Structure 1
Amino acid sequence: MKRKITTIAFDADDTLWHNETFFRITQERFADLLRDYTESEHLFERLLAAERRNLGHYGFGVKGFVLSMIETAIEVTEARVPATVIQELIQAGQDMLRHPIELLPHVEATLADFAENYEILLITKGDMLDQERKLAQSGLGELFDGVEIVSHKNEATYHEICQRRTVAPNELVMVGNSLKSDVLPVLAIGGWAAHVPHEMTWELERAKAPEAHTRFAEISDLSQLKNTVQSFEVL
Structure 2
Amino acid sequence: MAEISSLTQNHYVFEVSLKRNDIPSYKEYPFSLPAISNLHEIKLHPKVTFFIGENGAGKSTLVEAIAIAFGFNPEGGSKHFSFSTRESHSELYKYIVLRKGVKRPRDSYFLRAESFYNVATNIEDLGVGAVYGERSLHAQSHGESFMSLFLNRFLGKGFYILDEPEAALSPMRQLSLISRLHELVSNNSQFIIATHSPLLLAYPDSYIYNIDDNGIKKVSYEQTDHFMITKSFVNNYKGMLNELTKD
TM-score, with normalisation over the residues of structure 1? Answer: 0.29
Higher strand share: 2
Higher helix share: 1
TM-score, with normalisation over the residues of structure 2? Answer: 0.28
